[in-house]
């Protein structure tokens, strides 16, 4: 229904506005500036700073524009003597206690208080009393405080409760004694916590990693894209002398609104680290030697040619740009090499023919908040895709029912109506139970292995309830997350999830995990499809087959085997045993020097132009903000020159744009949410092994090589020391107690870890934490394990 429009006058200018809108919103829509501190368009109205006072005809006193609804025929004056008098009085009161430390304040030059004081303040204060001083708080590694500067606008407090879903900051005391803090001093734990830096209108909350690093007017602002998840949040990188000093949100209402997750805000720290690769390196007879680009590329070409095409495996990181991924597959396919893949954290590939053109949300990011029910399967949405979790939080606030099938209670920071915690080996039967609830169900669309499982299921009350919620909701979505992707029976889970979605009228959202997972599928960085999704008649091997099969040479693109793959030990072993390994990488690690033969330094996302396709199929291109260090170069250029060394034609691109034009010509700017998976006939539904299963997830700040090097993110409470958790009953059966050490044996490899009890974990599984810093010596995230009791003190 169209909103009722009314007419009013601001500064004698006729304007039209929706009935019920606040004066300040209407003034903003018409570029009429009203000063403000506590008002923020994304937060509730507090009306506590009184800076937005305006004169309203027939009102006895000035009124706050942020809390005054418009009315028909209203006449408002924002700069009349009465309005200015009220605004200047408020300014004078605010400055009584605010320190005069603009020259040493990080906010200086971009401070709402400083700017407003220039317009509404006096140059000499009438107050000679002492200013109040407030002790700073330690809010953790990301946000620094100078609480004496706080003007008590409560934007940061409202951000916590209304946007982040966790009220970590609050006000204590009254009047002059009011203080903003965390009550008990502790680090902020929200994954969106850095946004309080932007909402704070003064310099009370600043970015700790960039504290005192640069003045705002010294930095150049470059538009960029965050490559760490499937949202593709829009960012600005602020650059001083070829160094990214900080990152802030670039407003995009359809993607990240005015916010960004901490991962996107602080990952830039990983750009400027000592282990950046700055020159081509080749393995000499006794040591690593610096090489030139022509010599190193010539060597790569010569070496790769010594292997038969089926002996070469090419693996790429899905946070690389579309142009890089496209040229990579084009180059190696040009040599007849078909073993090309980006699905490095996946364990089950049997349904790859039935995957959609690219994994997608089944809807736009903006419309996620319109869901009436959401079913998260194997998905820690808050840590995987923080901005999607924010959309679901908004949906939840307006009544959306959230259901989760995982192995432990995950703290989403929004209410989940049903959390069904099942050991990972029981997820298949749990979904079968829900499907069994569908009345008059025709199972013939399901692969026959799954029909049998569904027919044998007897629905629990959880299953019945989940079915009722999904089938009765107006708009609903079944989301398949990263833990499902890592599951050994992922194909069967995907098929059941798709079937459930189809028969309850829900959307199916297969969450693409990295910034260009969708792009990697689209441009043919998979063994069974070419660019544009055409079937590859000569399909190559998937990642697991490459690592365990006939490959003698590997091309690693933007990847680190010890962290990026489903199984670190298996991948490292394959690299060490390979006859030749060439690594395109922005970083050189000690481990890499152990297995690689040629190391080619490439630019990161901030140092190259590149395109990313996000979870809703949106293509976005960003230019570089800085130059890569030393001799590192944008990888699309390196691949282009390498192709010449191989004597391949069709690589004469003069610019990144020409590569993009070629991709578009091959693929079209493919968007849309086709659901090819619905007809999946190939699944892996083997009976799971008896006994205990390990379940774990990639930590939020370990998803890619840049984030892993962001020092401040690694100090947050999200990065735990690896440990093992199980429920008390399971521990009792094993004869162990909280804090005992136990030996976890997985696939013949063992590790001793400290046990913590978690009442939310079901029987039959243990949570073994992965880490951003420590190599997971055990292997796959979801796999059978044995838990062995050690000889203990209490024996």
Instruction: Sketch the per residue contact string, 114 through 153, with ligand SF4: x for CB under 6 A, - otherwise.
Output: ------------------------------------xxxx
Rg of the chain (C-alpha set): 28
Residue 692 interaction partner, one of ligand FES, ligand SF4, none, beta carbon < 5-8 Å per kind: none
**Of 193-201, 345-353, 457-465, 505-513, which segment contacts ligand SF4 by CB under 6 A?**
193-201
Of the residues 15, 26, 32, 38, which one makes contact with ligand FES according to CB under 6 A: 38
764 SS3 class: coil
Residue 555 interaction partner, one of ligand FES, ligand SF4, none, beta carbon < 5-8 Å per kind: none
Per DSSP, the residues of 319-343 read TS-HHHHHHHHHHHHHTT---EE--
Least separation in angstroms between residue 260's CB and ligand SF4 is: 17
Residue 239 interaction partner, one of ligand SF4, ligand FES, none, beta carbon < 5-8 Å per kind: none
Least separation in angstroms between residue 53's CB and ligand FES is: 8
Residue 36 interaction partner, one of ligand SF4, ligand FES, none, beta carbon < 5-8 Å per kind: ligand FES
Q: Which of residues 626-655 bind ligand FES (CB under 6 A)?
A: none
Least separation in angstroms between residue 157's CB and ligand SF4 is: 6
To 5 degrees, how large is the angle CA 653–CA 655–CA 658? Answer: 65
Under the criterion CB under 6 A, does residue 342 sit at the interface with ligand FES? no
In the complex with ligand SF4, which residue's Cβ is closer, 199 or 255? Answer: 199
CA distance 651 to 640: 6
Residue located via tokens 């229904």 = 1
Residue 202 interaction partner, one of ligand FES, ligand SF4, none, beta carbon < 5-8 Å per kind: ligand SF4
Under the criterion CB under 6 A, does residue 51 sit at the interface with ligand SF4? no
Residue located via tokens 């960039």 = 210
Residue 621 half-sphere exposure, CB side, CA atoms within 13 Å?
Answer: 14
Residue located via tokens 């006058």 = 9
CB 342 within 8 A of CB 318: yes
Under the criterion CB under 6 A, does residue 154 sit at the interface with ligand SF4? yes
Query: Which two three-digit tokens encode residue 258?
Result: 């005015």
Residue 152 interaction partner, one of ligand FES, ligand SF4, none, beta carbon < 5-8 Å per kind: ligand SF4
Least separation in angstroms between residue 87's CB and ligand FES is: 10
Q: Total binding residues for ligand FES by CB under 6 A?
A: 11
Residue 412 interaction partner, one of ligand FES, ligand SF4, none, beta carbon < 5-8 Å per kind: none
**Which residues are bridge partners to 341 per DSSP?**
315
In the complex with ligand SF4, which residue's Cβ is closer, 82 or 178? Answer: 178
Is the CA virtual torsion 330, 333, 334, 335 positive or negative? positive
Least separation in angstroms between residue 50's CB and ligand FES is: 5
Of the residues 155, 222, 640, 694, which one makes contact with ligand SF4 according to CB under 6 A: 155
CB-based burial label for 555 (10 Å; 0-12, 13-18, 19+):
buried
Least separation in angstroms between residue 36's CB and ligand FES is: 3
To 5 degrees, how large is the angle CA 303–CA 305–CA 310? Answer: 110
CB 676 within 8 A of CB 356: yes
CA distance 520 to 171: 47
Of the residues 10, 17, 26, 50, which one makes contact with ligand FES according to CB under 6 A: 50
Buried b (16+ CB within 10 A) or exposed e, 631-640: bbbbbbbbbb
Of the residues 17, 26, 49, 180, which one makes contact with ligand FES according to CB under 6 A: 49
Of the residues 51, 54, 202, 660, which one makes contact with ligand SF4 according to CB under 6 A: 202
- Find all residues with CB under 8 Å of 639, minimum gap 6, and list them: 324, 327, 328, 331, 651
**Of 32-40, 191-199, 260-268, 373-381, which segment contacts ligand FES by CB under 6 A?**
32-40
- Please choose, from the candidates 330, 360, 358, 325, the residue with its C-alpha nearest in 3D space to the C-alpha of residue 608: 325
Residue 134 interaction partner, one of ligand SF4, ligand FES, none, beta carbon < 5-8 Å per kind: none
**Which residues are bridge partners to 340 per DSSP?**
314
- Find all residues with CB under 8 Å of 680, minimum gap 6, and list them: 351, 354, 447, 491, 494, 495, 498
Under the criterion CB under 6 A, does residue 200 sit at the interface with ligand SF4? yes
Per DSSP, the residues of 365-399 read TGGGGG-SEEEEES--HHHH-HHHHHHHHHHHHTT
In the complex with ligand FES, which residue's Cβ is closer, 163 or 247? Answer: 163
Query: Which two three-digit tokens encode residue 630?
Result: 């030393």
Least separation in angstroms between residue 169's CB and ligand SF4 is: 7
In the complex with ligand FES, which residue's Cβ is closer, 36 or 708? Answer: 36
CB 580 within 8 A of CB 312: no
Under the criterion CB under 6 A, does residue 553 sit at the interface with ligand SF4? no
In the complex with ligand FES, which residue's Cβ is closer, 92 or 756? Answer: 92
CA distance 47 to 118: 22
Least separation in angstroms between residue 94's CB and ligand FES is: 10
Instruction: Sketch the per residue contact string, 353 through 372, with ligand FES: x for CB under 6 A, - otherwise.
Output: --------------------
Least separation in angstroms between residue 167's CB and ligand SF4 is: 13
Longest CA–CA separation in the chain, Å: 90
Q: Which of residues 51-110 bind ligand FES (CB under 6 A)?
A: 51-52, 64, 66
- Find all residues with CB under 8 Å of 674, minimum gap 6, and list them: 356, 357
Of the residues 36, 333, 393, 609, which one makes contact with ligand FES according to CB under 6 A: 36
Is the CA virtual torsion 456, 461, 463, 465 positive or negative? positive
In the complex with ligand FES, which residue's Cβ is closer, 50 or 333? Answer: 50
**Of 47-55, 124-132, 434-442, 732-740, which segment contacts ligand FES by CB under 6 A?**
47-55
Under the criterion CB under 6 A, does residue 192 sit at the interface with ligand SF4? no
In the complex with ligand FES, which residue's Cβ is closer, 66 or 281? Answer: 66
Of the residues 6, 27, 39, 234, which one makes contact with ligand FES according to CB under 6 A: 39
For 392-401, the CB contacts below 8 A with 24+ separation are 392/368, 393/163, 393/165, 394/369, 395/368, 395/369, 395/370, 395/371, 398/369, 399/372, 400/371, 400/372, 400/373, 400/374, 401/372, 401/373, 401/374, 401/469, 401/473
Residue 375 interaction partner, one of ligand FES, ligand SF4, none, beta carbon < 5-8 Å per kind: none
Least separation in angstroms between residue 38's CB and ligand SF4 is: 7
In the complex with ligand SF4, which residue's Cβ is closer, 202 or 416? Answer: 202
Residue 151 interaction partner, one of ligand FES, ligand SF4, none, beta carbon < 5-8 Å per kind: ligand SF4
**Which residues are bridge partners to 582 per DSSP?**
555, 598
Q: In sequence order, what E strands does 346-497 have?
A: 373-377, 401-406, 418-421, 476-480
Least separation in angstroms between residue 55's CB and ligand FES is: 14
Q: What is the dihedral of CA 522, 523, 528, 533, to 10 degrees?
A: 50
Residue 10 interaction partner, one of ligand FES, ligand SF4, none, beta carbon < 5-8 Å per kind: none
In the complex with ligand FES, which residue's Cβ is closer, 66 or 219? Answer: 66
157 SS3 class: helix
Under the criterion CB under 6 A, does residue 430 sit at the interface with ligand SF4? no
Least separation in angstroms between residue 87's CB and ligand SF4 is: 18
Under the criterion CB under 6 A, does residue 152 sit at the interface with ligand FES? no
CA distance 207 to 570: 39
Binding site for ligand FES (CB under 6 A): 36-39, 47, 49-52, 64, 66
Instruction: Catalog residues that contact ligand SF4 under the rule CB under 6 A.
Output: 150-156, 180, 199-202, 204-205
């Amino acid at each position: 229904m169209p909103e009722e429009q009314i007419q009013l006058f601001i500064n004698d200018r006729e304007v039209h506005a929706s009935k019920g809108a606040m004066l300040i919103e209407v003034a903003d829509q018409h570029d009429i500036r009203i000063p403000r501190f506590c008002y923020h368009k994304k937060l509730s109205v507090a009306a506590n700073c009184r800076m937005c006072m305006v004169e309203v005809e027939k009102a006895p006193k000035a009124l706050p524009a942020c809390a005054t609804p418009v009315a028909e025929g209203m006449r408002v004056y924002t700069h009349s003597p009465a309005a200015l008098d009220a605004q200047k009085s408020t300014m004078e009161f605010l400055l009584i206690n605010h320190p005069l430390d603009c020259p040493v304040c990080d906010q200086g030059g971009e401070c709402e208080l400083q700017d407003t004081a220039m317009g509404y303040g006096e140059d000499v204060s009438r107050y000679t009393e002492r200013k109040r001083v407030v002790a700073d708080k330690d809010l953790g590694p990301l946000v620094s405080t100078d609480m004496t500067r706080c003007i008590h606008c409560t934007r940061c407090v409202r951000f916590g409760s209304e946007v982040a879903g966790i009220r970590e900051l609050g006000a204590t005391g009254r009047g002059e004694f009011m203080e903003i803090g965390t009550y008990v001093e502790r680090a902020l734990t929200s994954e969106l916590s850095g946004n309080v830096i932007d909402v704070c209108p003064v310099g009370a909350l600043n970015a700790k990693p960039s504290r005192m690093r640069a003045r705002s007017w010294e930095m150049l602002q470059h538009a960029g894209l965050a490559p760490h998840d499937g949202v593709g949040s829009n960012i600005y990188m602020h650059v001083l002398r070829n160094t990214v000093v900080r990152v802030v949100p670039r407003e995009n209402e359809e993607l990240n609104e005015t916010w960004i997750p901490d991962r996107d805000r602080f990952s830039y720290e990983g750009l400027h680290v000592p282990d950046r690769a700055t020159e081509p390196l080749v393995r000499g007879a006794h040591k690593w030697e610096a090489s030139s680009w022509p010599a190193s590329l010539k060597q790569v070409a010569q070496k790769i040619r010594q292997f038969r095409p089926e002996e070469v495996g090419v693996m790429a990181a899905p946070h690389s740009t579309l142009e890089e991924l496209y040229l990579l597959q084009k180059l190696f396919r040009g040599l007849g090499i078909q073993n090309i893949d980006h699905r490095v954290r996946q364990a089950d590939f049997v349904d790859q023919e039935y995957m959609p053109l690219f994994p997608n949300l089944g809807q736009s990011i903006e419309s996620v908040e319109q869901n009436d029910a959401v079913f998260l399967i194997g998905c820690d949405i808050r840590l995987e895709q923080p901005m999607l979790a924010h959309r679901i939080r908004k949906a939840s606030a307006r009544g959306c029912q959230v259901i989760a099938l995982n192995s432990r209670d995950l703290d989403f920071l929004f209410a989940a109506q049903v959390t069904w915690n099942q050991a990972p080996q029981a997820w298949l039967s749990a979904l079968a139970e829900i499907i069994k609830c569908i009345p008059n169900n025709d199972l013939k669309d399901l692969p026959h292995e799954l029909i049998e499982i569904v027919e044998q299921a007897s629905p629990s009350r959880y299953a019945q309830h989940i079915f009722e919620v999904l089938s009765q909701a107006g708009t609903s979505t079944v989301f398949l997350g990263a833990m499902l992707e890592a599951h050994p029976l992922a194909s069967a889970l995907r098929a059941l999830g798709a079937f459930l979605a189809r028969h309850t009228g829900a959307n199916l959202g297969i969450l693409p995990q990295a910034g260009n997972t969708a792009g990697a599928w689209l441009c043919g960085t998979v063994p069974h499809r070419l660019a544009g999704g055409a079937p590859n008649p000569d399909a190559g091997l998937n990642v697991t087959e490459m690592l365990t099969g006939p490959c003698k040479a590997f091309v690693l693109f933007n990847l680190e085997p010890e962290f990026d793959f489903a199984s670190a030990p298996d991948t490292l072993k394959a690299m060490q045993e390979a006859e030749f390994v060439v690594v395109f990488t922005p970083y050189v690690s000690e481990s890499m020097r152990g297995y690689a033969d040629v190391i080619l330094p490439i630019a990161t996302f901030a140092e190259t132009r590149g395109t990313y396709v996000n979870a809703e199929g949106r293509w976005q291109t960003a230019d570089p903000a800085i130059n890569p260090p030393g001799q590192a170069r944008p990888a699309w250029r390196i691949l282009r020159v390498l192709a010449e060394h191989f004597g391949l034609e069709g690589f004469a691109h003069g610019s990144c744009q020409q590569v993009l034009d070629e991709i578009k010509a091959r693929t079209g700017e493919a968007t849309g949410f086709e659901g090819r998976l619905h007809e999946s006939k190939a699944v892996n539904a083997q009976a799971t092994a008896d006994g205990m299963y390990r379940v774990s997830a990639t930590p939020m700040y370990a998803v890619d090589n840049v984030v892993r090097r962001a020092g401040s993110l690694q100090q947050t409470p999200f990065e735990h020391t690896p440990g093992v958790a199980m429920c008390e009953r399971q521990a009792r059966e094993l004869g162990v107690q909280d804090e005992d050490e136990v030996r976890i044996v997985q696939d013949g490899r063992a590790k001793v870890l400290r046990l913590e009890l978690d009442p939310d974990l079901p029987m039959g599984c243990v949570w073994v934490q992965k880490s951003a810093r420590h190599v997971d010596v055990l292997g796959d995230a979801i796999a059978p394990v044995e838990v062995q009791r050690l000889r203990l003190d209490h024996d």
